[in-house]
Structure 1
Amino acid sequence: MFTSTRRVRLLASAVTAAAVLGTAACSSGPDRADAATAAGYNLTADQNRITTDKVDEIAAKVPQAIRDRGTLIVTGAAGTAPPLRFYADDDTTIIGSETDFAYLIGDVLDLEIELTAADWAQNFVRVDSGEADVFISNVTVTEERKEKYDFATYRLDSLAVEVKKDSGITFSGAKDIAGLTIGVGSGTNQEALLVEWNEQNIAAGLAPAEILYYQNAVDYYLALGSGRIDAYVGPNPTSAFHALQTGETEVAGTFSGAGADLQGEIAVLTKKDNGLIQAINEALDHIIDNGTYTRVLERWGITSEALSDSRINPPGLPKTAS
C-alpha cells in the first residue's frame, strides 16, 4: 500500500512524463511502450541499459566496508526531470542519464547499484549520515560544497532559461532577469546565481526579479504554462528535452552553472575523505575511454555536455561574499 506522499509523488511523475511526451505518452495497454519510444527515448521500466565489464584494479580501491557489502547506495533527486533522473512509465523505476552513469560505475567497481530518492536537500543529509554512499543527480561542484564533500566530475554543467514559446524573452546575462518572475529549485546552485544577479541588478537600479521556488518539474511547467512565472532556470538538458517534446516552450539562453567566469561541472558527490572518490574517478575515466560514456550521452541527447576526462575536486562555483 502506498502512502499518500508516495501517491502524490507518483502522480507528479506520471503527469510530467505526459507533459514531456505530449500525446505520445497518453497511450495505454500494449502500445504504451511503443509510444514511450516514439520520440526517440525509451521511458519504459525495461531500459536495456548500457553495460561494461568490471575492472579489478579499480574495484580494489573501493573501501573495504563497501566491497564487503557488495552494493553502492546512490541517492538522487526524487523529482521528475527527464532526461536526467525521473520515473519510468511504471511510476516506480528510476531511469535517466544519471542512473545510467551510476550503473556503469557499479559495473566497473563490481558493485550492485541501490538507487534511492529524496528531496534535494535531503540527499546531502543522506550522504552526511552514511545512509547513502554517493549523490548522483546533476550535482554541481561548488567551493562551499567542497569543504564537506569530494567530487568526481562526469559532465559539463550548463543551465538554461526556459520560457513560453514566442514570449519575446531572451537571455544573455544577469540584466535580462530584471523585472521577471522566475522559478527555480530551492538550494540549487542556479538559485544562488539568480539571487546574486538579482542583488547586482537592484544595486544598479534595475527592477528586481521575483524568485519563486519549485521542487518538481510538473509544478514549474504548470506555472510556466499558466503565466504565473515568466521563466524557469534549471539544467539545460531538462529544458531542452521539455521544449523539444512539447513544442510549447523554448530555451531563451544558456550559461555555465558556475557563473560567468568558470565553466561548471557536474560530479558524483561523496563524503569528504571517505576513500571512495579515487575509485569513482578512475571508473569514470574508464567508461570515457571505452566509449560507454558517450553511448549514454547519445542515448539521452546530451552529447554537448561531454567531458574528455573526470577530475577530482576541480574549481567550482565560487562562494558568494557574505
Structure 2
Amino acid sequence: MHATARRARVLPALVLLPALAGLVAACGTDPSDGTAGDRPPAAAPATGAGPNLGPDQNRIRAEKVPAIAAEVPAAVAADGALTVGFSADGAPPLAFPATDDTTLIGVETDIAQLVADVLGLRLDARTSSWENLFLAAKSGKYEAVLNNVTVTEERKDVYDFATYRVDQLAWQVPETSPIKSITKPADIAGLRVSVGAGTNQEKILLDWDRQNRAAGRKPAEIQYYQKYGDVLLALKSGRIQAYFGPNPTIAYNIAVSGGSRVAGTYSGAGPDLQGLIAAMTKKGNGLVKPINEALNTVIANGRYLEVLKRWGLANEAVPKSQINPPGLPRQAA
C-alpha cells in the first residue's frame, strides 16, 4: 500500500503573467444549501487576445416570440425588463467586465440577452457577490440568475431551473506533455496535479486517488494554488503535470494564450450523472417555463450555438433545455 499522497498548499507566485487572461475556477460553496457550486475566484484582467473583449459587443440577438412572451408573469413584465443576476467576481468566458471595466460581457450575458429578446424584454444585468446571487433570487430581487449555476437536489428545494449548458470539467496539460489522455483514475497515478480546494473536481480527484491507492498504484501529488494564473505558471515550469478544472476556464485560456491542451473531459457531477448548468429563478414564481421555452427557441434556430461557438464552448451545448432535471445528489448530513 502506498503512503497517502502529499498535498502541498502552494502560496501564490509573486510574479505577473504576461498576456494572461483572467479566467474562472468552478465550484465554490453555495451558502444556501452547503453543496458545491460554481463560484468564480478573483482573477487577472483579460488582455484583448482572442474573442472581442470590448464594450461594443454586437451581440447575437433573437426575435420576440409573442406566444412565449405572453407567459411571462405580469409582475416580471410590468417594467419591460428581465432583471438577471451575475457574479461581480466573474471572469472570462462566463460573465466578466469588458475592457471599459463597466460593460458586462461573456457567454452567460449573451445567453441572457437571447432569453430576454424572445420574451420581449430588455436585459437588465445586475452584479453582486456569489453568495448574494442566491439570496437575491430567493427574495425575487433578481428575476433570474445565469451564472454557471449547477443544478443540485438541495437547490431545487428553493429554486426552479431551466438548463442551458453541460457542467464539464477538463484536464489541462502543457502542449508538449507526453500525457496522451486523462479519463480514469489510473491515468493520474504518480502525477503532480493541481485542483481547486473545496470544489466538485477536488472531490472527484481525491476519490480517484483513493481508488489508485486501494489498487496499489502510486498516489498523486496534489498541489493547491489560490489563483488560476499560479496554476498556469506551475504547468509551464513543470511543478505540476496537469490541472483539473472547469472546462470554460481551460477552453478560454487555450484560445487566448495557447501553450497547453485538453487531455480529457469529465462530467462535473461525477461518473454517474451529467451535471447541468441552468438559469435559476425563485421557486414557483412562474418564470421558469417561459425561460425554458425561450432557450429551446434559440437552441432550435441556431442562435444559441452561435453564442457558444463565439466563446469556445460548443462542446457544452445541450440538445434541449429541461426544467428541474435530476441534479447533483444531496450531501450527507
- TM-score if structure 1 supplies the norm length? 0.77
Query: Going by fraction, where is helix more abundant, 1 or 2?
Result: 1
**Structure 1 residue 228: deviation in Å?**
6.3
Of stretches 119-128 and 41-50 in structure 1, the one that deviates more from structure 2 is: 119-128
Q: Is the 8 A contact 2:59 2:110 kept in 1?
A: yes
Distance change >3 Å, CA 135–CA 217, structure 1 → 2: farther
Q: Deviation of residue 137 (structure 1)?
A: 1.9
Indicate if the aligned counterparts of 1:156 and 1:264 stay in contact, CA closer than 8 A: yes
Match of 1:32 in 2: none
Alpha-carbon distance between aligned partners in 2 of 1:313 and 1:85, rounded to the nearest angstrom = 23
Report Cα offsets for 1:140-172 as digits up to 9, x if no partner: 222232222211111222211223343445521
Matched position secondary structure for 1:18: coil
The 3-state SS of whatever aligns with 2:58 is: coil
2:135 matches 1:125: yes
- The residue aligned with 2:156 is 146
* Greater CA drift, 254-263 or 166-175: 166-175
Aligned partners of 1:223, 1:123: CA distance in 2, in Å?
32
Cα distance in structure 2, aligned partners of 1:232 and 1:118: 29
CA distance in 2, matches of 1:212, 1:234: 12
Report deviation, 1:115: 1.8
2:194 pairs, out of 173, 182, 190, with 182
* Corresponding position of 1:26: none
- Output one character per residue of 1:104-161: Cα deviation in whole Å (capped at 9) or x when no partner: 1111112222223344344223323333222212222222322222111112222112
After superposition, give the CA deviation of every residue in 1:245-280 in whole Å (9 maximum; x if it has no partner): 222222222111221122222211122222211111
- 1:4 corresponds in structure 2 to none
2:292 corresponds in structure 1 to 281
Alignment match of 1:172 (pick from 158, 167, 183): 183
Task: Give the superposed CA RMSD.
Answer: 3.1
Q: 2:258 aligns to what? A: 247
SS in structure 2 at match of 1:99: helix
Answering whether residue 329 of structure 2 is matched by residue 318 of structure 1, we say: yes
Residue 111 (str. 1) matches residue 121 (str. 2): yes
Corresponding position of 1:44: 54
Distance, in Å, in 1 between the alignment partners of 2:311 and 2:87 is: 18
Q: Is the 8 A contact 1:183 1:229 kept in 2?
A: no
Q: In structure 1, what is the Cα distance between the partners aligned to 2:237 and 2:111?
A: 35
Structure 2 length-normalised TM? 0.74
Q: Which residue of 2 aligns with 1:19?
A: 20
Instruction: Give the corresponding residue for 1:297.
Output: 308
Identity value in percent? 50
- Which residue number corresponds to residue 8 of structure 2? none
- The number of equivalent residue pairs is 291
Write the distance in 2 (CA, Å) between the matches of 1:49 and 1:266: 21
Gaps of 5+ in 2: 1-15, 23-46
